[in-house]
């Protein structure tokens, strides 16, 4: 038979147990996993600007004719024969006026040769001079599949890109056949840059497709059409041929 536990012994046992429990709690507290520390950065409040910084200007690089090996215009070409001072004559015509008073519309074209053929600017010129028998490449500017922008026909000379509507119309060609291919993003980016630049330089009012001028043509191809309205909108131009003024 065990001896009855004394009151003093009982008190000692209780205190010892409490101390042991407290130690365990302290040990758990001191050995628990380190907490994940999330550093919350202070909110960055920009200083109030005293002037509104202007956006970085985009640089538009245009490869001039002499750098892509352009042939000189041929004024003996049978479908653009001779040189004239009369804007109603279909011969080679150089605008005598301030170009901002002449140009109203930019016409969008495709070259109708597949992107995979790696067509060059000289190929476009050769086609226009040797097959179409024009005096020079018909477009004023072209954009190849790498987004390189080329000077075509001199901007002071009337283009040959929209039959019956060339006077006062700037021709811009995106190289590719967009009845089959899709225009590349870099080409669309450059096209927008070119159109924006032409709009401000020559105070243009309208943007149209070749097809809108000459319905018998599918140019600039069905896969380009979705981009035409936004292109005009971003440049602040009206759509269509409504800005065309027939020469007197």
- Dist CA 127 CA 145 (whole Å): 18
Instruction: Quote the least distance from Cβ 53 to Zn ion, whole Å.
Output: 40
Instruction: Quote the least distance from Cβ 214 to Zn ion, whole Å.
Output: 8
Nearer to Zn ion, 124 or 219 (CB): 219
Query: Which residue blocks in the chain are alpha helix, DSSP H?
Result: 7-31, 99-102, 121-126, 185-202, 210-213, 228-235
Nearer to Zn ion, 83 or 179 (CB): 179
Cα atoms found within 13 Å of the Cα of residue 15, Cβ hemisphere only? 6
- Dist CA 159 CA 156 (whole Å): 9
**How is 119-141 classified by DSSP, letter by letter?**
--HHHHHHIIIIIS--SS-S-SE
Structure tokens of 108?
């969008």
3-state DSSP assignment of residue 92: strand
List residues binding Zn ion (CB under 5 A).
109, 210, 219
- Note whether 174 and 144 are within 8 A (CB): no
Nearer to Zn ion, 17 or 132 (CB): 132
Nearer to Zn ion, 11 or 195 (CB): 195
Non-local (6+) Cβ contacts of 29 within 8 A are none
Instruction: Quote the least distance from Cβ 137 to Zn ion, whole Å.
Output: 12
Instruction: Quote the least distance from Cβ 173 to Zn ion, whole Å.
Output: 7
Instruction: Quote the least distance from Cβ 219 to Zn ion, whole Å.
Output: 3
Bridge partner list, 208: 107
Nearer to Zn ion, 33 or 232 (CB): 232
Instruction: Quote the least distance from Cβ 218 to Zn ion, whole Å.
Output: 9
Q: Which H or E run includes 110? A: strand 105-110
Nearer to Zn ion, 151 or 212 (CB): 212
Which residue, chain included where needed, has tokens 């995979």? 116
Name which of 110, 179, 180 is nearest 143 in CA terms. 110
Nearer to Zn ion, 109 or 190 (CB): 109
Instruction: Quote the least distance from Cβ 76 to Zn ion, whole Å.
Output: 24
């Amino acid at each position: 038979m065990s001896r009855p536990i004394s009151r003093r012994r009982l008190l000692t046992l209780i205190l010892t147990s409490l101390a042991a429990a407290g130690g365990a709690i302290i040990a758990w507290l001191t050995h628990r996993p380190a907490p994940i520390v999330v550093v919350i950065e202070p909110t960055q409040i920009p200083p109030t600007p005293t002037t509104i910084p202007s956006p970085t200007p985009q640089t538009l690089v245009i490869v001039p004719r002499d750098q892509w090996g352009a042939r000189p215009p041929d004024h003996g070409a049978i479908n653009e024969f001779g040189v004239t001072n009369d804007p109603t004559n279909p011969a080679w015509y150089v605008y005598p006026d301030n170009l901002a008073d002449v140009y109203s519309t930019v016409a969008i074209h495709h070259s109708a040769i597949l992107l995979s053929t790696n067509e060059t600017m000289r190929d476009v010129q050769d086609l226009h001079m040797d097959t179409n028998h024009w005096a020079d490449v018909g477009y004023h500017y072209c954009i190849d599949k790498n987004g390189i922008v080329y000077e075509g026909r001199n901007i002071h000379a009337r283009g040959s890109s929209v039959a019956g509507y060339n006077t006062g119309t700037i021709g811009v060609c995106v190289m590719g056949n967009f009845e089959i291919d899709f225009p590349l993003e870099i080409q669309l980016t450059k096209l927008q840059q070119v159109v924006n630049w032409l709009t401000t330089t020559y105070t243009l009012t309208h943007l149209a497709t070749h097809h809108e001028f000459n319905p018998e043509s599918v140019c600039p191809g069905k896969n380009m059409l979705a981009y035409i309205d936004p292109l005009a909108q971003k440049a602040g131009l009206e759509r269509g041929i409504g800005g065309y003024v027939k020469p007197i």
